[in-house]
Amino acid sequence: MAADTPHTDARLAAGHDKSLLRFITCGSVDDGKSTLIGRLLYETQALYDDQLGALAADSKRYGTQGDEPDFALLVDGLSAEREQGITIDVAYRFFATDRRKFIVADTPGHEQYTRNMVTGASTADLAVILVDARKGVLTQTRRHGILAALLGIRDIVLAVNKLDLAGWSQDTFAAIDRDYRAFAHSLGIERVTSIPLSALRGDNIAAPSTYTPWYEGPSLIEHLERVEAGRADAEATPLRLPVQWVNRPNADFRGFAGRLLGGRVRPGDRVRVLPSGRESSIERIVTFDGDLPEARAGQSVTLTLADEIDVSRGDVICAADDPAGLADQFEATLVWMADAPMLPGRPYLVKMGASTLGASFGHPKYRLDVNSLEHLAAKTLELNEIGVANLTLDRAVAFDPYAVNRDMGSFIVIDRYTNQTVGAGLLHFALRRSQNIHWQAVEVDKAARMRQHGHKPCVLWLTGLSGSGKSTIANIVERQLHARGAHTYLLDGDNVRHGLSRDLGFTDADRVENIRRIGEVARLMVDAGLIVITAFISPFRSERRLARGMVEDGEFIEIFVDTPLAVAEQRDPKGLYRKARRGELANFTGVDSPYEAPEMPELRIDTLADTPEDAATRIVELLVARGVLRSG
């Protein structure tokens, strides 16, 4: 590895001030991607690499006189890595020439690894798309072009590889070039550089090949050295610095650390901090090596302000005369990366910059066919699918559209329960209603209604399998509360399906939407000062957490009506289990759809030990103990 060589420190120091180009390589199976990466590492002075690149570079540059490393060994090493399945994740390679440093994302070409290409391309300035000269432009070639365009890459290198196996035919190369340029034009990509190659032989990789005298363009490495990196575009955008850390080592210093995602900044520049909207001016630009007269996009710095204004982690320091947008609802492209599908209405976490926010998605407007660009109808998004949907956050956030600033307009999606990354997205624009709809203040509020009713409002959320006895217990609870003079309303699963949710089925996505609607209705009823009793299977923990989050702390009481599946199926008062077992009823909880039991309910009812009347009495006693009802 490079860290073990005596030359590493000098080489790193020499490359410190070089510009950086990030690019991806992609192509169909057997187009020669691994061979090309191996050749690039072999032909350059590799700074460092976590596999074989640095070793190969050191062998070439510092090996004994007359010795040359075995290029086939390097390619075999990369191929062995592929066989071990490492390319399910993106592998990054690092190398450098005398003019520039490079980070190349080695992304797999298979359609099932679409998420991996999206990950690699999200920070890339350029894409090298390989084409086998014998096969021409394939469906997979077009797919990669579509994804590159979607992710904002506007520089494409069409590497027409294995031209030696096509007799170094200029006509073959020209036909592939014409075909791909026409396709790229339809995507709005105009900067296409086509290069005839033999990655295995090294032709036109680092130097012109004698086999292509008709080709007058640059070699691949020469082009990569010359192409303009994306940071130049970032510097032309307005100032954006998301605050990652508030640095206050003593009373005399308060700085805001982060990486500039756009623009330039100098002491004296006026800035605006979002979401607060407060303004100040830059006093100092602080780095470990001392203050700077100017900082540019891509640099990590600490800014101090001339005024003492409130700035926190996750806030964004913007140019005062051209601030970022501020909204909590967006249209977004979403790339789904999890085995479990994206379910509209389900609560997720979204991470944007240094901010983590509660989020949910609406029903997809469409799913994108990455082979044809066709917009397809979809209710959910499955693994590796790309679609467009509305995104709702739990608070407003500073943003730029992805097309304007890729860093300010991108986000990742995190599962609340597993804490795993399940998706990534690109913001298109804020929904107009998020800026035009405001909360209307009312004079008669929940507190006034509570005083009139003589008790506190809450939601009694009964959950359990079909046949567990939820509806029976709920009815008895409401009867007992009514006898005490409490103001109540019972929301029963079957009754709601006759009206509010009559358009929904029983797929996972429809179940999520059903519970979201019930949660919203229950929230309104709690605001009306009522004790709301719900009796729903509500099989998913995520949706029960969503409903809990819609009301204030202490107002949601989860009651697990615990009945073993065998007992519930034996009862089967509606004959539903029998239908499900015969295959006449799909997506039935407990048979072919899961039930996620509550982990920490406020109350557990054991229906094998408690009668429905006893269970109802325990629930009412719990309300008294929690102060919802007065005793007596």
Q: Please name the amino acid found at residue 261.
A: L
Name the amino acid, one letter, at 271.
V
Place of tokens 């709005």: 188
3-class SS of residue 524: helix
Copy the structure tokens of residue 569.
């199926």
The count of other CB atoms within 10 Å of the CB of residue 30 is 13
The DSSP code sequence of 85-134 is TGGGSPEEEEEE-SSEEEEEEE---SGGGHHHHHHHHTT-SEEEEEEETT
Using DSSP bridges, classify how beta strands 126-132 and 19-27 pair: parallel, antiparallel or unpaired. Answer: parallel
Report helix angle 170-186 to 139-150, nearest 10: 40
For the chain, report the end-to-end CA distance as a whole number of angstroms.
77
Note whether 41 and 59 are within 8 A (CB).
no
Q: How far apart are CA 206 and CA 98, in angstroms?
A: 13
Decide the pairing of beta strands 191-196 and 240-242: unpaired
Q: H helices within 337-436, ranges in order? A: 432-436
Q: How far is CA 37 from CA 23, 299, 455, in A?
A: 12, 28, 71
Q: Tell which residue, 28, 126, 117, 111, has the closest CA to residue 369.
A: 111
Residues 608 and 570: beta-carbon distance below 8 Å? no
CA distance 262 to 520: 40
- Please give the positions annotated as active site: 538
Task: Give the C-alpha separation, 569 to 69, whole Å.
Answer: 70
Kindly give, in sequence order, each residue whose CB lies less than 8 Å from that of residue 86, ignoring residues fewer than 6 positions away: none
Backbone phi, psi, residue 2, to 5°: -65, -30
545 contact partners, CB below 8 Å, separation of at least 6:
347, 416
